[in-house]
Amino acid sequence: MNTLRTVTLANGKQSTILLADDLKDLSSHLGNYGRSVLWVFDTNTAKLFKQLPPVHVVLESGESSKNFVSLERILFAAMDEGLGRDGRIIGFGGGVVCDMAAFAASVYMRGCHLTLVPTTLLCMVDASVGGKAAIDFRGLKNMVGSFYPADEILISFDTLRTLSEKEFLNGLAEVIKHALLSQDEELYKLLLTKKNEILARDSETLQRLLDLSLAVKIWYIEQDPTETLGIRQMLNLGHTFGHALESSSHFGLFGHGSCVAWGTGRALEAGVSLGVTEKAYASGATKLFKSYGYNMDYRIGRGDWIDFREHLSKDKKKEAGKVLFVLLEGQGKAILKPLEIQTVQHLVIAKPIF
């Protein structure tokens, strides 16, 4: 295992991101933890094992498992095993598994050890890094949660080869978002010039892509570990619009990444209409998303507006009762700004302005 990055969060807590040479290298490292371990899988990642570890929980794959029932299953298993505070929960899977494992570890005996093994691109560049853990509640995404960074995050690119094209693109949307938020254009240029290699999942290109994407996220979260200074919130670019679409479609219409891509498109349009974002920059960023196959022109039906608005109004990013949106002034320059509800309605129902 090679150390890819180290993240320093609140109270000096560190997460080490390790890159495995292959699945054998990954398994060898995981075997060093000993017996005081509880594994969390979903029905997809459990299939990667010929024989599952003796103490484990297998959740149904998908967003529907991010709930209190799944949390209780993990906690019951930990108690039945007699897992101590010095024990370890290992989340082996995508964002849902890693979120559930992290949330359980954060509350079990007020905190036990945590290792995350993200198996999707989305989880590698986003959900596993930074310590956020949450469940969906009353139909709203990530409404109940905690901050609890993993001790270690173990990555093997071999797991990416098991992903469907849709799931791979689900994660790539977050990478493109990071490219727009980056303080330089290196990741943006890589996405422009190495599209074929990225879509072919070339290992060398993916390692560069992952490292650059993680560097962007780490830059934001290390300055604002618990999201109280208005810096880390910039990583929510596209998420205010995107989460409302996800929630109002009951998590079934689009994957998270597709919603983030779509939401970023709406944020870019909002910036142009308010004179915050240069039209040329917004157009170029939108074309980059489109080049990877994201549907940036989708609009909700007029009959869906009330439900969409209801979910939007419950977004966590509020100030003085108003929902705040992340807008871009340019490359790596994001701001938080409220939008008039009529503007939002026009953006999600009307035709694009460029």
Annotated catalytic residue 132? yes
Which DSSP helix (H) or strand (E) runs through 35? none
Is residue 344 pLDDT above 90, yes or no?
Answer: yes
Q: Which residues of 144-169 are buried (b: 16+ CB within 10 A; e: fewer)?
A: bbebbbbebbbbbbbbbeebeeebbb
Is 269 one of the annotated active-site residues of the chain?
no
Co-location of 59 and 34 in the same domain: yes
Give yes or no for residue 317 having a pLDDT over 80. no
**Does residue 230 sit within a domain?**
yes
Confidence band for 319, pLDDT divided at 50, 70 and 90: low
**CA–CA separation, 233 and 123 (whole Å):** 18
Note if 170 is an active site residue.
Answer: no
pLDDT of residue 77: 97
Assess whether 254 and 345 both reside in one domain: yes
> Residue 199 sits in a domain of what CATH number?
1.20.1090.10
Residue type, 106: S
Query: What number is the average pLDDT over the span 106-123?
Result: 95
Confidence of residue 350 (pLDDT cuts 50, 70, 90): low
Does residue 128 contact residue 156 with C-beta atoms inside 8 Å?
no
Can you state the angle between helices 239-248 and 256-273, rounded to 10 degrees?
Answer: 130
Nearest-Å Rg of the Cα atoms of the chain is: 20
Whether 346 sits among the annotated catalytic residues: the reply is no
Tens digits of residue pLDDT in 186-244: 999 999 999 999 999 998 999 999 999 999 999 999 999 888 898 999 999 999 999 89
* Cβ neighbours of residue 77 closer than 8 Å, sequence gap 6 or more: 38, 55, 56, 57
Share of the chain above pLDDT 90, in %: 72
CATH number for position 105: 3.40.50.1970
Annotated active-site residue in 35, 50, 110, 138: 110
Provide the greatest CA pair distance for the chain. Answer: 59
Mean pLDDT, residues 325-335: 95
Question: What pLDDT sits at residue 246?
Answer: 86
- pLDDT, residue 311, reads 86
Same structural domain, 233 and 146: no
Choice among 152, 227, 246, 269 that is catalytic: 227
**Is the distance from CB of 221 to CB of 199 less than 8 angstroms?**
no
Do 208 and 189 touch, CB atoms closer than 8 A?
A: no
7 and 147 assigned to the same domain? yes
pLDDT of residue 142: 86
pLDDT of 326 reads 96
| Dihedrals phi, psi of 247, to nearest 5 degrees | -70, -40
DSSP string, 290-315: HHTT---S----GGGHHHHHHHHHT-
Q: What is the pLDDT of residue 254?
A: 76
Q: pLDDT value at position 174? A: 96
Residue 5 CA to residue 320 CA, distance in Å, equals 37
Same domain, residue pair 237 and 336: yes
Average pLDDT of the segment spanning 343-348:
93
- Domain end, chosen from 162, 194, 216, is at 162
Q: How many domains does the chain have?
A: 2
According to the model, what pLDDT value does residue 354 have?
59
**Would you call 227 a catalytic residue per the annotation?**
yes
Per the annotation, the verdict on 243 as an active-site residue is yes
Work out the pLDDT band at 256, boundaries 50, 70, 90: confident
Burial of 354 (0-12, 13-18, 19+ CB in 10 A): exposed
Residue 215, domain member (yes or no): no
Mapping DSSP to helix (H, G, I), strand (E, B) and coil, where does residue 92 land? Answer: strand
Q: Which pair of tokens denotes residue 145? A: 């949660």
Question: Distances in Å between the alpha carbon of 63 and those of 55, 133, 252?
Answer: 23, 14, 9
Give CA–CA dist 199/202, Å, rounded.
Answer: 8
**One of 56, 88, 217, 316 is an active-site residue; which one?**
217
Residue 294's closest CA among 344, 245, 229, 350? 245
Domain end residue (candidates: 140, 162, 184): 162
Lowest mean pLDDT across 71-85, 91-105, 136-150: 136-150
End-to-end CA, the chain: 47
Residue 327 confidence (pLDDT): 97
Of 136, 162, 188, which residue is a domain's last? 162
Do residue 196 and residue 239 come from a single domain?
yes
- Structural domain including 340 reads 165-204+226-349
- Give 68's contacts (C-beta < 8 A, 6+ positions apart): 135
Tell me the C-alpha distance between 198 and 157, whole Å: 12
Residue 107, pLDDT score? 95
Residue 221 maps to a domain: no
Q: Mean pLDDT for the chain? A: 91
Let me know whether 257 and 196 are in one domain.
Answer: yes
Among 263, 261, 268, 265, CA closest to 292: 261
> Catalytic: which of 56, 88, 113, 132?
132
Which one of 239, 311, 316, 317 is the catalytic residue? Answer: 239
Is 110 a catalytic site residue?
yes
Question: Looking at 56, 88, 113, 256, which residue is catalytic?
Answer: 256
Q: Are residues 53 and 158 in the same domain?
A: yes
In a domain, 30, yes or no: yes
Q: What is the pLDDT of residues 37-61, one digit of tens each?
A: 999 999 999 998 889 999 999 999 9
pLDDT tens-digit map of 115-152: 999 999 999 998 899 888 999 998 888 889 999 999 99
Residues 270-287 pLDDT 10s: 999 999 999 999 999 999
Active-site annotation holder among 167, 178, 236, 269? 236
296 and 261 together in one domain: yes
Q: Are residues 149 and 275 in the same domain?
A: no
212 located within any domain? no
Catalytic residue (one of 232, 266, 311, 316): 232
pLDDT at 70 over 90: yes
Same domain (yes/no): 174, 284: yes
Cα separation, 41 vs 172, whole angstroms: 23
- Quick one: 134 and 185 in the same domain? no
Catalytic annotation present for 299: no
Strand partners, 64: none
Does position 113 have pLDDT exceeding 70, yes or no? yes
Residue 313's pLDDT band, with cuts at 50, 70 and 90, is confident
Task: Report pLDDT for 67.
Answer: 95
